[in-house]
Structures are given as C-alpha cells and as structure tokens.
Structure 1
C-alpha cells in the first residue's frame, strides 16, 4: 500500500510530506520471537517500509503569522480558529497532492495527516484533551484519497498523554538493536523513546528543543529571523550559567514519565520571565544558553533511561551548535542521526505517521501504553472517505513486531 504521511510540528515552520510503500512481510520469515510483542500485544510479522521520497515546504507567511498570533498564551476567537483550520487544511491538501504526483507517480492509496497541534490541554500532569487543526476534507477533496487524521485524540481518551505517538514506530524500529537504544526527536519539543529487549519501553517529552530557541531568535532579532540557521547565533554566544540555572529549575524536568508538554508551557512570555531574573545579556548569549538548556535536559533524560546510543531526528539535527553541545553532554555515548539508518532526519515523523495511519486502516493498535500512559492500546484516528467513498478495509492481521527499512529514501 502506498501511503503519504503529512507532518507539521510544534515549530509550525512548514509541512513535511513523505511517501512510502508499506507491506507486511511473512511472519515466518520475520526475525521476531514470541518475546517480541508488537503494539497490539500479539506476535506478528515484520512491517517493511520502502521510502519513496519526501519533501518539506514552508507555510505561507500569512498562515505562519496567524498561527503565531493564536497559539498559547494568546487569546483567539472561533472565527480565527475556523479560518486557520481551513487554511491549514488547504495547505495540507496541496502538500498531499504534490506528494501523490511527484513521489508516487500519481498513484497512492492513503493519506495520513497529523494536522497542526494548536493546544495540548494538560492539568496536574494529566492530558485532558488535544486539538489539531487542518480539516482533512480538503485533503480528500483535492487528492481523491481517503485520509486518516486526528490520531492523538483516541490515546488521550484512553487515559494517555497523546504523545509521543511516534513511540509505537520507534519501538518497532529500534527492536533488535543492541543495548538500550534511544530514538530522539528534536522538533519544537524534544521527545525520546527508549527500548531494550525484554524490558518495557519508555517514551516522553524531555522539554523544549526548538520551541524556546525559535521564540528567543524571533524576539531578539525583532522578527528578522525565525530560527537560528545553522546554529550561527548560538555559536557566537557564551552560555550564561545563572540564566541556565533559572531555566533548569522548571518543575517539568523532574516529573516522572509518561509526561508530555508543549508551547502551552514553553513560549516567549515564559522565557522573558526568566530573562528578567538576570542582567541584560547579548542576544547571542541568550541563544547559546537556551541551546544549552535543550542539550542538558535531553542528555539528562537519556541517562535517566539508561540509553546506550542516541539516534536523533527532527529539525534540531540541522543545528550543528545544538548537536555539538549535545555530544559534549552525552560524553562517550554515541550520537547519530536517523539518516544513517535509512530515514531522513527531517522526514522521520512524516514516515512515522504514515505507518501509524497504515496500522489504523488495518484495524491494528498504534500506541504503546507503557509509553503514553494509556489504559490500553488503541486503533488511532478518524477516516475521511475519498472520491470513491471509504476504502475496502484490509482484514485485520497480527500486529507487527519489527519495522524494517527497505532502502534509503531519496
């Protein structure tokens, strides 16, 4: 089955689209054993992912501006939410149609759209609700393809954090690697998944990756820059220990997993409050210190889960200053990117959501309760019919025990 995955993360800089051919390999030829249990709790086959390619595109300036104006802690209106839901749906539709034409030679079977997270409602460590915008009807209308969307809500309804949902993908992908490998995503928020043979996996958001960093850059450059391109600002600065100490006092870091966070907590007013606690600093020093915060909190989380290697992906991997700081914090622990394992680091989450939607269409759970804190595994998402109505649903099979990447993506 050819599946297109669409992802726009908490950095809300644009949409990543990835296309993959997904098939189940014969269970008897898979390398799994009875001890290797997939997300559904049943021994099963290997899921084969053949990457067909990917691309990333920026949101139109008016969409990015509207998002920035309406995300927490800003106030908004129902009219603004409706307009944004439509604009994002049309943007996702354009990306899906381009992926169908350019990556799938005009033939695809399914689109999986994560949508744009605009609010993750958390109280006292429990997620009460989550909201992703980007109306899937626009995607179905533009492409003629069925769409799986709104994947987080079901896990939240089952008592989970709704994040990190990619943990189900990571557990399958990491299985069979030696030690206790850690998959790390450096998006707006950093999250990790740690998995080891014979042990329960664990996954959680470690804290900000690019969320505070991007906010600092936009604020300190008065909007001239949206992010620290190639880590140049951070590289010119010096880490300020008193500011770093204030930032590290955030109670979230000490909470036990499963846990999740977002821009509801880590936003510009949050950063400005901490900046008021220290003497005025050069912009480069602020950026260097916020970068060091991400490196320190990620490394401490990796050590806390007993990680033996780190496989990083996400936009933060394009920041050499962040990666250099993270390597120093990790010491002798190996740090590599997902590119080395066949998945482009910038598109890994788009591929992951393609897999989650594929599992949902097959009636298979795509969550790991040990990772999200849910009461049970869940089949995720809502299905929007394509031009020919609802697709014929495949027979429900066994949950896969492993994910194998067939070849490096173009």
Structure 2
C-alpha cells in the first residue's frame, strides 16, 4: 500500500511530504520511500497563520478561512507528490497545529487545521486526519506521536538509546531494555525563530548556520531565568507548544532583568537554552545513543553544543536509523495512515501517557467507495529503505 504522509510542524514554515510503499508479513512491515519533499507556505498564507497563533487573539472567521486555505495548500502538495509516483492508496495528514490545550499537566484538547476534504477531492484517495485527539481522550498527551516510529527504529539496541526531534519544540523518545518514555523537552527552534521574525534578522526566518547566534554571547542571567521555568521540572509524560513558548514569553524574561539585552545575545542565549535543556535530560536518562532529526539538526551550534555536553553519548543524525533527518515526521504520518487503514493502534502508552493504545484519526473517503484492507494484528518490526 502506498501512503502519502503530510505535515506542517511547530515551525509552521511549510509542508513536508513523503510517499512510502508499505508491505507487511506476519507483523513485519517494510517501507520503501518513493518520494520526499518540503514545500514552503506562500508568504501571505504563512503571515496570516503566524498572526493567528497564540498568544495572539483571532476570530472563528479567520480560523475557518485558514482551515480552507491550508487544506488547499496541503491538497496541492499532495496531488503533486501522488502524481510523481503514479498515484497513492491513502493519505495521512497531520495538518497545522494552531492550539494544544494543556491544563494542570494534562492535555485537554488539540486543534489541527487544514481541511482534509480538499486533499481527498484532489488526490482521490481516502485521507486519515485529526490523529492526535483520540490519544488525548485515552488520557495521553497526543504527543509526541513520533515515539511510535522511534521505538520501532530503536528497538533491539543495547543499553538506553533515544531519538530527538528538534522542530519548533524539541521532543525525545527514550528506549531502554524494559521501558519507553517520550515527551516534549521544551523549545528547540520556536523562540529563536520568533525573535528572528520579529526583528527581521534573516529573510529565511531562521538562523541559517547559526550565523546570528555566533555573533552574540550567552547572557548568563537570562539563561538562568529561562531554565527556571517550572515546565522543565515536570515529570514525563508532558507536552507543550507555542501556547507557552512564544515571543512575549521571551520579552517577559528579558524585561525582568531590568536592562537591555542585545538581539544577537538573545538569539545566542535561546540557542544555548535548547542545548542545555536537551543535554540535561539526556544525561539524566543515561542515554548512550542519540539520533537527531528536525530542522535544528542543521544548526551547527546546537549540534556542537550537544556533542560537547554529551561526551559519553554517541550523537548522530536520524539517517543512521533509515529515516531521513529532514523527513522523519512525514514518514511517521505515512505509517500512521497505514496503521489506521489496517486497524492497528499507532501509539504506545509509554510514548504519550495514554492508558491504552488507540487507532488514530478520522477517515475522509476518496473518489470511490471506502474499501479497507484486511486488518493487521500489530506491527512487530519496521524496516525502511
């Protein structure tokens, strides 16, 4: 079965897409990646999305319009990708998260927009969507869902190993001989990107090659204030997002110092925040092998900082596990789509905190009758090539 995976992450800079051809025998799943790409949002659409995100106020009218416009943008990307491989059997879309509701340490709800009916209409294949909420109804955080894929890729390694994704938010999956844990560590690129966008420091909207951060210095007092955030002391499972870590959050911490902070020092300090929060958790868990993915893995200052702070840990890119460091989450959503179509729960309780695993998502039929494949009992192993 060919499944197309689509998402836009917490950096909300564009749409990642992949097509994976899956086959299965006795629970052993093999996936061949046929296509992968990343397509930026049109600048005007991205500007509208950014303007509507927390802590900004918006309207239901704007949410409804963005739901359609993002759905159409996803549909365009999906149609092009499907055509490039001669068609697909199903699509799984994550959509664009606009709000993740966490209250008193528990996830209460989550909202992803990008109307899947537009994708089904363009591609003609059934579309799995709204994949996080079912996990939340079972007591989970709906995140990090990538822990399902990570556990399969890390399974069988001796000692304690982990997969780290550095998107807008950093999340980690920790796998040992007898346990798995996964959670959101804290901000990865979200705060740096917010500062760069606010001050127009780079037309790309991010700190390419850590150029800006390297021109500044770590402000120790600001870093200490940021590290004192109670979120970091919470026990897993836990999840967070831009509802908590946003530009006004940075401004509040900087203002509390009672003095000005150079913008370059701000970017350098926020970069160091990512390094220290991740390194602290990796050391505490005794992780010997760490596979990194997401946009932050291309930030040399972050990667240099992690390797320097984690001398007892082998730090590599996720490509060594068979999943592209740039496209691992799109592969995840292709896998979730395959699992949902085959009646397989694509979540593990240790990864999200749910009481029990659940089959994820809702299905929008494609051009013809909805025909589900024969159910599969479980996924015992996964090989990607």
The count of corresponding residues between Structure 1 and Structure 2 is 384
**Is the Cα–Cα contact under 8 Å of residues 184 and 192 in structure 1 kept in the other structure?**
yes
Task: Tell me the SS of whatever aligns to 2:58.
Answer: coil
- Structure 2 residue aligned with 1:21: 21
Partner of residue 207 from structure 1, selected from 183, 186, 190:
186
- Structure 2 residue aligned with 1:266: 245
Is 1:192 the counterpart of 2:181? The answer is no
Partner of residue 233 from structure 1, selected from 189, 212, 231:
212
**Deviation larger for 78-87 or 294-303:** 294-303
**How do residues 348-367 of structure 1 correspond to structure 2 at under 5 angstroms?**
348-367=328-347
**How do residues 142-181 of structure 1 correspond to structure 2 at under 5 angstroms?**
142-181=122-161
- Structure 2 residue aligned with 1:56: 38
Q: What do residues 155-206 of structure 1 show as CA deviations (whole Å, max 9, x unaligned)?
A: 0111110000111111111101222110100000000001122x12000000
- Structure 2 residue aligned with 1:66: 48
**Is the Cα–Cα contact under 8 Å of residues 12 and 64 in structure 1 kept in the other structure?**
yes
Cα RMSD (Å) of the superposition? Answer: 1.2
**Is the Cα–Cα contact under 8 Å of residues 344 and 379 in structure 2 kept in the other structure?**
no
Q: What do residues 217-274 of structure 1 show as CA deviations (whole Å, max 9, x unaligned)?
A: 1223378551111211112221111111011010000000000000000000000001
- Residue 130 of structure 1: how far off its partner (Å): 0.3
Task: Tell me the SS of whatever aligns to 2:119.
Answer: helix
Partner of residue 288 from structure 2, selected from 302, 305, 308:
308
- Taking the aligned partners of 2:148 and 2:34, their CA distance within structure 1 comes to 21
- Structure 2 residue aligned with 1:277: 256
**Is the Cα–Cα contact under 8 Å of residues 100 and 109 in structure 2 kept in the other structure?**
yes
- Taking the aligned partners of 1:158 and 1:4, their CA distance within structure 2 comes to 27
Provide TM-score, normalisation by structure 2.
0.97
Q: What 5-or-longer segments of structure 1 have no aligned partner?
A: 28-44
- Structure 2 residue aligned with 1:114: 94
**Is the Cα–Cα contact under 8 Å of residues 232 and 321 in structure 1 kept in the other structure?**
no
**Is the Cα–Cα contact under 8 Å of residues 156 and 374 in structure 1 kept in the other structure?**
yes
Task: Tell me the SS of whatever aligns to 1:206.
Answer: strand
- Taking the aligned partners of 2:114 and 2:251, their CA distance within structure 1 comes to 30
**Deviation larger for 253-262 or 178-187:** 178-187
**Deviation larger for 117-126 or 169-178:** 169-178
Partner of residue 249 from structure 1, selected from 221, 228, 231:
228
- Structure 2 residue aligned with 1:32: none
- Structure 1 residue aligned with 2:383: 404
- Taking the aligned partners of 1:212 and 1:331, their CA distance within structure 2 comes to 27
- Taking the aligned partners of 1:172 and 1:20, their CA distance within structure 2 comes to 16
Q: What do residues 104-146 of structure 1 show as CA deviations (whole Å, max 9, x unaligned)?
A: 2x22101110000000011000111000000000000111111
- Residue 332 of structure 1: how far off its partner (Å): 2.7
Is 1:319 the counterpart of 2:299? The answer is yes
- Taking the aligned partners of 2:249 and 2:168, their CA distance within structure 1 comes to 15
Task: Tell me the SS of whatever aligns to 1:311.
Answer: strand
Is 1:92 the counterpart of 2:71? The answer is no
**Is the Cα–Cα contact under 8 Å of residues 146 and 332 in structure 2 kept in the other structure?**
yes
- Taking the aligned partners of 1:225 and 1:361, their CA distance within structure 2 comes to 38
- Taking the aligned partners of 1:395 and 1:224, their CA distance within structure 2 comes to 49
- Residue 98 of structure 1: how far off its partner (Å): 1.0
- Residue 389 of structure 1: how far off its partner (Å): 2.7
**Is the Cα–Cα contact under 8 Å of residues 18 and 54 in structure 1 kept in the other structure?**
yes
Partner of residue 273 from structure 2, selected from 293, 302, 325:
293
Provide TM-score, normalisation by structure 1.
0.91
